[in-house]
Amino acid sequence: MKILDVLQLDTIIPELTSRDKKGILEELATPVASATGLRQPDLVRVLLEREQLGSTGIGEGIGIPHGKMADLDRMVVGFGISRQGVDFDSLDGRPAHIFFVLVTPEQSTGQHLKLLARLSKMLKNDLFRKKLLTATTRDEIHAIIRHEDNENG
């Protein structure tokens, strides 16, 4: 499964404005909720509950908040960039700038893990991260992700 199979153009936010973790989750959840018909507060609650188990700030300026929702019938990915960076309780203690949010149906553990692994692999590429950070539009971000998605088979 490719990232672009589950990432829609309208779930990409080129300029996140929140200054804290909860605000970032609320911003990321808004277009994902719209795209899926989920209630935004329910989605935010699920993402916050997952954060309580351990931060999804994986270091290198990256956050991959994720959660599972019972009312969801397909996987959905959202994306956002925080230019100023946000304290996301990352493993390396540095601010997070690049966010992929992943929401999957409750019973999709295998696909959920495969998608997380694919995102993690793609995000290890320094050039990919740098390109994302310099992108300013949804279309530009989408094209960068599409290129990297195709490079990673």
Catalytic site residues? Answer: 66
Positive or negative CA dihedral for 51, 25, 60, 147?
Answer: positive
Token pair listed for 139: 């279309």
Are 59 and 90 in contact by the 8 Å Cβ rule? The answer is: yes
Give whole-number Cα distances, 96 to 108, 126, 131, in Å: 27, 15, 16
130 Cβ contact list (under 8 Å, min separation 6) = none
Residue 18, classed as helix, strand or coil, is: coil
Q: What pairs with residue 79 in β-bridges?
A: 12, 100
Give the number of C-alpha atoms closer than 13 A to the C-alpha of residue 118, restricted to the C-beta side: 22
